[in-house]
A and B are shown apart, each in its own frame.
Chain A
Amino acid sequence: MTRAAGALEALRRKAGRSVLPRTVPGLLRGWAAAALVAVIALVTAVSTGLEDARQGVWLVGEDAGPQVVYTGHLYFALSDMDTQLAGVLLIGSEHGLGAGRDHALQRYRERRGEAHRTLLQAYEIAGTDEASRRTVRDVLNGLGRYEQLAARTLLLDDQSGHPAGPPAQNVLDVYRRATDLMRQDILPKAYNLTLENASVVRRAYVDERSHVLRSRVAVGATSLVLLAVLAGLQFYLVRRFRRLLNPALAGATAIALVLGGWALLVLGSTSAHLRMAKEEGFDATLAFTRARAISNTAAADQTRFLLDPQRADTYAQVYFDTSQSIAYQESGSLADYHRRLAAAPPRLGFLGGIPEQAEVLVRYRAFQEQDERMRDLMRRGEEREAIALRTGLMTETFTAYDQELSRLITARKTDFGREIAAGAAVLDGWNRGLPAAGIVLAALIVLGVWPRLAEYR
């Protein structure tokens, strides 16, 4: 015999012999006490479960979740600063080319403001996590150095004054330092910061889900115990007192059934809303935010490709790699990629698995088609046409794609908010309802036993 079974046997013998009362009123009191304990257990289980669910909805929906989505914008703002700087250098003294130099500089300043604001926010979110705080500080310091280099690049570029196309070597030298700092040092940290924050949300979500699952089991188990004790008590009353129905206890049984069942439903429903909010809302928002951020760097790599002939091969390769992570097509080179992307929708990457007619894919393909044209023009030595294309039509095409991504981000954010609100709404009203149900249950049990006990006074 195992030790557990042995202990059980001992307990049973002991219980049968001495612990339980022998007299009728004693037994009645014992049953009633057991039922009251079971009521307390059920109410506690339901209340813990609801509290866990509330905690989960709050954490994912109102605390960490939206903040992470907000800091996801940091990468985009930083990346766009470098994009605008590259754009200004490319158009040189032909200030009216494309949207124009003033427009680009204006956007540069706006993005800088956004970057600083999100950084402050990110520092707050980091809380006591030393590694994340350190990352935010490093990004802030890097940004300071970047702004200095950018200002010097612009000054040198103004002084040299060149037609659209690659600037003077001394300008290029400083710009390389700026863009390397941004792309190799600052942007990776900003990206990792969002990933780390998202991992905090994911962990919280997984924890809450397992808590809610555990609460559902606890509610189910305590409901069963209460129902069993109530049934036992009624059965005893029928046998001992020959009463067929005890209305109070029947009422208590009904309430216990409804309370347990309802709590299970509510917990299940909140859990489902939370899952939808996390998977369809949060994850999708973050994925599109990341796609938007790296798409921006891809567009900037086109400009840099035109701007810096010595590094053109590298920028083309990086553009190819970035495109692959946005929408993957197995291909050996950029030209090959363009062909395959036009032929079939991507299976993997941020846009992987998106239906072929989806607007975002249509616009992404248009953007890649023009990339192919731009590189063809460069291969044929028609540099001016390539620059005109990049600063003109391609900027518009990219903006259209970028706007579609923004629209998707907003839509998913709305989904997220709706699911969170629905999850929270389900939990409403339990604060008062639950104690009331507990009190009524207890009262009915006492009421059911009291008259029988009175017979023995």
Chain B
Amino acid sequence: MTSRALERLLAPLLVAGLLLALAVACGVERTPGVEGRKVLRVGVKYDQPGLGMYSHGSFLGFDVDVASYVAKRLGAERVEFVALTSEQREDFLRERKVDLVVASYSITPQRKTEVGFAGPYYVAHQDIMVRGGERSVRGPRDLAGRRLCKSAGSHSWKRVVEEMGIRAELVEAQTYSECVDLLVDGRLDAVTTDDLILAGFALRRPGAFRMVNARFTDEKYGIGLHKDDIGGCEAVNRALTRMYQDGTAAELLARWFGPTGLKTTTTVPQFEGCG
């Protein structure tokens, strides 16, 4: 080998070293999380009055406002809302069709094995709603002998009738919306499920209903995200802390549920912890 050949060798060698060093410097992998994303797709309910409701081309409700606040705190410039049903929540997150789910999504140990949960952003409670004039129902035990709505696919009535062993008379309905109509018509006496859901229905007919404020369970409404996004989950929790500290949470709760006479909690809930 001549010295000329060596000269040719030396240059590529140094260039290779330089490139390697560059690659090392830039090679920190970035996992796609919800933090710092310009556009965030958020899954919300479209048929839940007061929480997530699609009407006249836009989504309205407490969940929607919470999602907007959190997205802004995460640094998103734009939020795209995606309508989803309760059954679609896990799949949409897993398939990354949405980045976040804010859809009266209760945190349960089972669901925690499938998706990540930030929050809860609110702890709802199972409650009872009766007609406006009804004063004698003050707690679940008072439902004995009264007509209670049994909504298809819901567990709320089971808690009262099966777990607590209260002998209420069950009246079947397909949806909570139908339950509420039956309550108005006087064909049943009480509807029981999460207080925020009940309050959402009550909003539509001011004065027609009374919330019992019995609060006999805790339903932790969490913000669903992809299971690996622990940094994003922590960032959402920080956003939620701020939401309560700066008074936004109290303001939103008063705006959406204040008119129904529902007692809401305006201090930050106990988070589940990420990962």
Which A residues fall within an 8 A CB radius of B? Answer: 8, 11-12, 15-16, 20, 24, 27, 30-31, 34, 38, 41, 131, 134-135, 184-185, 187-189, 191-192, 195-196, 198-199, 202-203, 206, 210, 214, 217-218, 221-222, 224-225, 228-229, 232, 235-236, 239-240, 290, 310, 313-314, 317-318, 321, 324-325, 328, 330, 332-334, 348-349
Contact = CB atoms under 8 A, between A and B. Distances in A.
Given A184-B265, A214-B27, A214-B28, A313 B1 contact: no
Interface string B212-230: 0001111000000000001
Contact of A332 (B109, B158, B237): B158
Contacts of A330: 110
B69 interface: no
B274 interface: yes
A25 to B, nearest CB: 12
Contacts of B271: 188, 191-192, 195
B218 A188 contact: no
Given A188-B267, A332-B158, A332-B162, A196 B8 contact: no
Contacts of B3: 24, 27, 236, 239-240
A333 B139 CA distance: 19
A15 B9 CA distance: 10
A349 B216 CA distance: 23
Given A12-B12, A232-B6, A332-B158, A317 B270 contact: no
A77 B76 CA distance: 39
Contacts of B164: 313
Interface of B: 1, 3-4, 6-17, 20-21, 24-25, 27-29, 109-110, 112-113, 139-141, 158, 162-164, 215-218, 230-231, 234, 237-238, 241-242, 245, 265, 267-271, 273-275
A232 B20 contact: no
B213 to A, nearest CB: 12
21 contacts: A8-B15, A15-B10, A24-B3, A41-B17, A131-B242, A184-B267, A191-B270, A192-B268, A192-B270, A195-B237, A199-B237, A202-B275, A221-B17, A221-B21, A222-B21, A225-B13, A225-B16, A228-B17, A232-B9, A236-B3, A321-B217
Contact of A317 (B15, B27, B158, B216): B216
Nearest to A321: B218
Nearest to A336: B163
B8 to A, nearest CB: 6
Given A221-B17, A349-B109, A199 B8 contact: no
Given A199-B234, A199-B274, A236-B3, A318 B218 contact: yes
Contacts of A210: 28-29
B161 to A, nearest CB: 11
Contact of B14 (A34, A195, A206, A224): A34
A214 B11 contact: no
Contacts of A334: 163
B1 A239 contact: yes
Contacts of B7: 15-16, 20, 27
A349 B275 CA distance: 12
A232 B16 CA distance: 14
A192 B237 contact: yes
A236 B9 CA distance: 11
B28 A16 contact: no
Contacts of B241: 131, 135, 192, 196
Given A34-B14, A313-B164, A332-B158, 12 more contacts: A16-B11, A20-B7, A27-B3, A41-B17, A185-B267, A195-B274, A196-B238, A199-B234, A199-B237, A202-B230, A236-B6, A313-B139
Contacts of B10: 15, 20, 30-31, 34, 232
A131 B27 contact: no
Nearest to B269: A188
